[in-house]
């Protein structure tokens, strides 16, 4: 699997983009910073977008992606829970803010929506995909992706602590997990359901207890203002747990 990080932060600037990860050029995880990071040809090469939850920073580029497919008389498949479809249909693709691309053109919409059922394995574009609920302020699922060659990753979407149940359903080689703030914001993390390095420590210890190993870990969704602090704390945590944990960044590409 070739994994390309288009966006790895929780806010946008000239140098940071919202969450979006592309696998093998044809499957995208979240659509925060999706269209601005791809050429038109690369966008049209996408077959599938998996969305984790309805928050704006994860679905923002769906209208633009839909327009680009529409203009080229094509369509893209989007997988998410019903609550994400509702948010798209009610707010972004509602015929007022932007066209109703979930139904337009009639019979062949630019966005073909497929509801996901948690814990049910799906075959999508040659990958085995399982949606697993995480713990966030709105209904959220992470996705475990397994390639035909048996390589696997899990992307958490946004989540706070309390992932024991999630860990029981997955066993990835690569864990892409959010760490939004540094550990002095751990109370904020608990309340707003995001992770800090301190909270990640407990979750990784839980993962190891349940699965008997620790995967390679890449963090995403960092607040750029706190990134230096997060980086120092993550480096210490990697030593403490004797595993590989790094902050992902825009433009990162890796082969799994």
Question: What's the angle, vertex CA 177, arms to CA 206 and CA 23, rounded to 5?
Answer: 130
Residue with smaller CB distance to Zn ion, 55 or 85 = 55
Kindly state the smallest distance separating residue 118's Cβ from Zn ion, in Å.
17
DSSP 183: G
Phi, psi of 177 (to 5 degrees): -135, 145
C-beta of 146 vs 180, nearer to Zn ion: 180
One residue of 9, 17, 55, 85 binding Zn ion per CB under 5 A = 55
Q: Is 158 in the site for Zn ion (CB under 5 A)?
A: yes
Number of residues that bind Zn ion (CB under 5 A): 3
Cis peptide before 105 (omega within 30 of 0): yes
Contact present, 25 and 2 (Cβ < 8 Å): yes
- Binding window for Zn ion (CB under 5 A); candidates: 69-77, 102-110, 124-132, 152-160: 152-160
Q: Are strands 76-80 and 2-7 parallel, antiparallel or unpaired?
A: unpaired
Q: Please report how close the Cβ of residue 57 comes to Zn ion at its closest, in angstroms.
A: 4
Q: Return the range that interacts with Zn ion (CB under 5 A); candidates 20-28, 56-64, 167-175, 229-237.
A: 56-64
Tokens of 172: 């990835």
The answer to whether 229 contacts Zn ion (rule: CB under 5 A) is no
Nearest to Zn ion of 57, 233 (CB atom): 57
Nearest distance from residue 247's CB to Zn ion, in Å?
16
Shortest gap between Cβ of 58 and Zn ion (angstroms)? Answer: 6
Q: Does residue 201 bind Zn ion (CB under 5 A)?
A: no
SS (H, E, C) 152-178: EEEECCCCCCCCHHHHCCCCCCEEEEE
Question: Please, which contacts does 34-40 make with residues 24 or more away whose CB atoms are closer than 8 Å?
Answer: 34/6, 34/7, 34/61, 34/65, 35/61, 35/64, 35/65, 35/68, 36/6, 36/61, 37/6, 37/7, 37/250, 38/6, 40/68, 40/72
**CA atoms of 129 and 147, how far apart (whole Å):** 9
Which of 30, 57, 203, 227 binds Zn ion (CB under 5 A)? It is 57
Closest CA to 21 of 44, 62, 51: 51
Minimum gap (Å) between residue 63 Cβ and Zn ion:
18
Min separation Cβ 17 and Zn ion, Å? 12
Instruction: Report, in Å, the least distance between residue 151 CB and Zn ion.
Output: 26
Site string for Zn ion, 97-126 (x = CB under 5 A): ------------------------------
Q: What is the rounded CA–CA span in Å between residue 156 and residue 122?
A: 17
Q: Which stretch binds Zn ion (CB under 5 A): 51-59, 84-92, 123-131, 199-207?
A: 51-59
What does the binding site for Zn ion look like in residue numbers (CB under 5 A)? 55, 57, 158
């Amino acid at each position: 699997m070739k994994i390309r990080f288009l966006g790895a932060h929780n806010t946008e600037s000239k140098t940071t983009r919202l969450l979006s990860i592309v696998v093998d050029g044809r499957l995208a995880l979240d659509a925060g910073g999706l269209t601005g990071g791809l050429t038109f040809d690369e966008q049209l090469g996408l077959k599938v977008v998996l969305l984790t939850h309805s928050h704006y920073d994860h679905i923002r580029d769906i209208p633009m992606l839909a327009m680009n497919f529409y203009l080229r008389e094509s369509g893209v498949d989007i997988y998410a829970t019903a609550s994400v479809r509702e948010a798209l249909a009610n707010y972004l693709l509602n015929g007022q803010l932007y066209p109703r691309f979930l139904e337009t053109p009639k019979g062949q919409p630019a966005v073909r929506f497929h509801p996901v059922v948690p814990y049910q394995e799906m075959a999508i574009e040659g990958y085995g995909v399982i949606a697993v609920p995480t713990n966030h302020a709105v209904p959220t699922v992470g996705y475990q992706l397994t390639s035909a060659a048996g390589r696997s990753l899990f992307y958490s979407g946004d989540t706070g602590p309390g992932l024991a149940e999630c860990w029981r359903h997955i066993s990835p080689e690569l864990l892409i997990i959010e760490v939004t703030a540094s550990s002095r914001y751990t109370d904020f993390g608990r309340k707003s359901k995001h992770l800090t390095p301190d909270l990640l420590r407990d979750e990784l210890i839980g993962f190891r207890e349940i699965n008997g190993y620790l995967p390679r870990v890449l963090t995403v969704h960092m607040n750029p203002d706190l990134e230096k602090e997060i980086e120092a704390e993550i480096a210490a945590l990697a030593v403490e747990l004797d595993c590989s944990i790094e902050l992902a960044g825009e433009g990162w590409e890796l082969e799994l």
